[in-house]
Structure 1
Amino acid sequence: MTPSLQDARLRQLSDKGVNVVDPRQTFLDDDVDLDRVFPEAILFPGTRLAGRKTLVGPRAKIGSEGPATVIESVIGESAEIASGYVTGSVLLTKARIGANGHVREGTLLEEEASTAHAVGLKQTVLMSFVTLGSLINCCDCLVSGGRSRSNHTEVGSGFIHFNFTPWGESGDKATASLFGGVPDGVFLREERIFIGGSSGMVGPTRIGFGSFTTAGQVIRSDVATKRIRSESQREVDAPWGFAAPRKAADRVERNLEYIGHLVALQAWYRRMRKARVPDDDVSLPQRLTLDAAIALLDGNIAERWVRLGQFLGQPLPPIKLPAIDCPLQLNSDSGPHISWVKNLSPEEIASGRRWLQDTVDAVVIANRPSVG
């Protein structure tokens, strides 16, 4: 793109109400759709936008603490990227990536989820209000729990999710871990989870709501609901071979369950979240953001299915995704999503939980023969 064309495109953004703080230090690739950069967004110096899917919502902030590159990503209303690199990801309202983030494909941050500085994410879903500290690598995880911005699941600084095992011909990444879960987590009524800092977790692991793992350990086994866990380091000196036996049946079941949670979350977005958004110009950024989240979850489901096939050493047939009818009634006049969730009755919550858990179970049951 010539400098004159670049300047003209930046002027177009400014003319429609986008705050381009310093055009001399702002770059738009020629495939960026200017209609997807909305008025009142703020592009700080050092912002680089690329990709036809890229969207910057109203009052979103890009590069508030330093240079930021955004590629094929959707940054929702009032969301923020302090600095760093974000590609193939979606941030919902008021979500925030801290300074020097490295956020790759398949990452979804729901409302007010956030990270501190120097956090790496890939194929990871942080549900509403979840908070990650600094210096974290969290790939292939779904994290939920908590009820508000002041009562939220938190992962302490210096945490690593180990998402690769060396067994087999080339190792595998059928190791996604589940913190809490979708059928309960989406209703924002569950106890928060706390993962202590300077620690790690070997996937695939399950952490129950309301649990606490202490700092300075590596978690190697599941933690039940409302437990405190501290594991001592193992001492091992034994013969080794990369063809060591694996608990294939258990690993398969965990992967099918994780995929089921992704399918349930996608159903929640399609049947409830997207369907509640008014079809008007004011709500266009929100509709586009939710469309992007739904598409992202499609990609995450496909990724997990491929990784499971690699683990089993064989290509799998197309995944079966059963659809369960949603029992909840739509009400598009009940305000923003978080307010709507908080105002659901106990009966509605119980019905919604059954629907989402039935969705998880149906995915597991339908696909067991394919991987048996």
Structure 2
Amino acid sequence: MGKETMINDFTTGFGFRVRKGSLYEEDSSSAQHTDTKMTVLFPWTTLGSNINFCDALISGGTGPELGYFSEVGSGSIHFNFTIRGDKATASLFGDVCQGLFLDQDRLFIGGNNTLLGPIKADFGVMTAAGSRSNGILSPGLNFGHSLPKGKIDYEPRIFSGALGIVTKQVDLLAELTALFHWYQQVRIGCISQTTEQKFVYESGLNIVELNYQERLFQLSRYVEALEGSLSIFSGSNKMSKKETAEQRQLLEKWPKIQQQLATPKAFELLIPESLTNAIARKLAEGKLDYTVIIKGMDIEGKQKGKDWLNTIANGVRNIINSEIAMDG
């Protein structure tokens, strides 16, 4: 999305690899030997060196100065394949609905981290250097966990915690849906002032939709694979009755859920007037840099914007909540 400040005067370092679905928003950057694919970096986010950070979205931070933006430390890897080869593993660091307004605590992923997707990390999360993390990360310094020595019997064809994995991936679809409508109605509809800027924002919109469709595709592959797990192990002592019931329900309801999730366009909701007015006031002041416009909006405009985006995202989440019994 371009550079708005020269505090950090580069976007990528030597040996970088930016693959399909990578979206680097304003002043986000990566250093030497980094690899991204289906990765969304919000403004100012910085990746260190020797990093593999695919299938992830990271937001958070309030500015380009040191200590104010989200960071991923050198040597960190986001592991996005399971032992079975499925990729319902995308992680959400921060979120879209709050993070878009550039007023949330930053995230700091320490160096040499092992990140086992899918992860849900709140704003304000820090991880210690050399740590191993998965699951849900809460604000504060997270030390991760280590594995015990030895080995256990393991059957990779048994899926466990399927409903939780599906719910996490639908949550990411919800956030990407909000981002899709932000690009469509805010960046393109309100902020773009030139043909070139509109083209860049439209390209960003296409990348957001590409990420959405990739996540839906990988989630569908995962759910379809549950059938093999059930056919072999349901009724045995290797799979609990609760897990069996949840997987059966997912398989039964998935065709309807998938149809409802087919496109982020289905969740369109008109941008609130208070948000468009807040943006218009900044443009009238001659503020043309995207991050300056967003940071400078009044509190009412920002809150109405957050409420609008949350309503869109919750429309996506409600599909899984309404179709699948969540009480176990």
The TM-score with structure 2 as length reference comes to 0.79
Q: Residue 206 of structure 1: CA displacement?
A: 0.9
Q: Residue 370 of structure 1: CA displacement?
A: 7.0
- Alignment map for 1:207-286 (pairs within 5 Å): 207-224=121-138, 226-235=139-148, 237-277=151-191, 283-286=194-197
Question: CA 1:95–1:357 in 2, change beyond 3 Å: closer, same or farther?
Answer: farther
The match for 1:110 is: 25
The match for 2:107 is: 193
In the alignment, residue 350 of structure 1 is paired with which amino acid?
Q
Q: Hey, what's the Cα distance between the residues in 1 that align with 2:45 and 2:2?
A: 18
Aligned residues of 1:95 and 1:113 also touching (Cα < 8 A): no
The one of 294, 298, 301 aligned to 2:212: 301
Moved more, 345-354 or 326-335: 326-335
In the alignment, residue 214 of structure 2 is paired with which amino acid?
E
Question: CA 1:278–1:114 in 2, change beyond 3 Å: closer, same or farther?
Answer: closer
Question: CA 1:153–1:364 in 2, change beyond 3 Å: closer, same or farther?
Answer: same
Deviations 1:77-132 (A, max 9, x none): 559xxxxxxxxxxxxxx871221111110000000000001000000000000000
The match for 1:329 is: 276
Aligned residues of 2:107 and 2:123 also touching (Cα < 8 A): yes
Deviations 1:187-221 (A, max 9, x none): 11111110000111100111111121001121022
Q: Hey, what's the Cα distance between the residues in 2 that align with 1:95 and 1:363?
A: 37
The match for 1:69 is: none
Q: Hey, what's the Cα distance between the residues in 1 that align with 2:11 and 2:297?
A: 27
Structure 1: where are the runs of 5+ without partners? 1-75, 80-93
Aligned residues of 2:121 and 2:137 also touching (Cα < 8 A): yes
In the alignment, residue 301 of structure 2 is paired with which amino acid?
E
In the alignment, residue 28 of structure 2 is paired with which amino acid?
A
Q: Quick check: 1:120 aligned with 2:67?
A: no
Q: Residue 284 of structure 1: CA displacement?
A: 1.7
Q: Residue 367 of structure 1: CA displacement?
A: 4.9
Q: Hey, what's the Cα distance between the residues in 1 that align with 2:102 and 2:27?
A: 13
Q: Hey, what's the Cα distance between the residues in 2 that align with 1:124 and 1:325?
A: 27
Q: Hey, what's the Cα distance between the residues in 2 that align with 1:211 and 1:140?
A: 19
In the alignment, residue 81 of structure 2 is paired with which amino acid?
F
Q: Name the SS of the counterpart of 2:54 in structure 1.
A: strand
Identity %: 30
Q: Name the SS of the counterpart of 2:20 in structure 1.
A: coil
Aligned residues of 1:95 and 1:110 also touching (Cα < 8 A): no
The match for 1:345 is: 298
**Greater relative CO (CA pairs within 8 A, separation 6+):** 2
Q: Quick check: 1:162 aligned with 2:79?
A: yes
Q: Hey, what's the Cα distance between the residues in 2 that align with 1:119 and 1:262?
A: 23
Q: Residue 357 of structure 1: CA displacement?
A: 1.2
The one of 23, 42, 64 aligned to 1:149: 64
Aligned residues of 2:10 and 2:29 also touching (Cα < 8 A): yes
Aligned residues of 1:116 and 1:132 also touching (Cα < 8 A): yes
CA RMSD of aligned residues (A): 2.2
Deviations 1:206-261 (A, max 9, x none): 1111121001121022111x211102311152111111232111011101100111
In the alignment, residue 37 of structure 2 is paired with which amino acid?
K
Question: CA 1:268–1:278 in 2, change beyond 3 Å: closer, same or farther?
Answer: closer
Deviations 1:322-343 (A, max 9, x none): 2222212251434221111111
Structure 2: where are the runs of 5+ without partners? 226-253
Q: Name the SS of the counterpart of 1:313 in structure 2.
A: helix
Aligned residues of 1:322 and 1:366 also touching (Cα < 8 A): no
Alignment size in residue pairs: 277
Question: CA 1:348–1:255 in 2, change beyond 3 Å: closer, same or farther?
Answer: same
Moved more, 266-275 or 235-244: 235-244
Aligned residues of 2:190 and 2:276 also touching (Cα < 8 A): no
Q: Name the SS of the counterpart of 1:286 in structure 2.
A: helix
The match for 2:15 is: 100
Aligned residues of 1:77 and 1:286 also touching (Cα < 8 A): no
The one of 315, 318, 321 aligned to 1:365: 318
Greater strand percent: which structure? Answer: 1
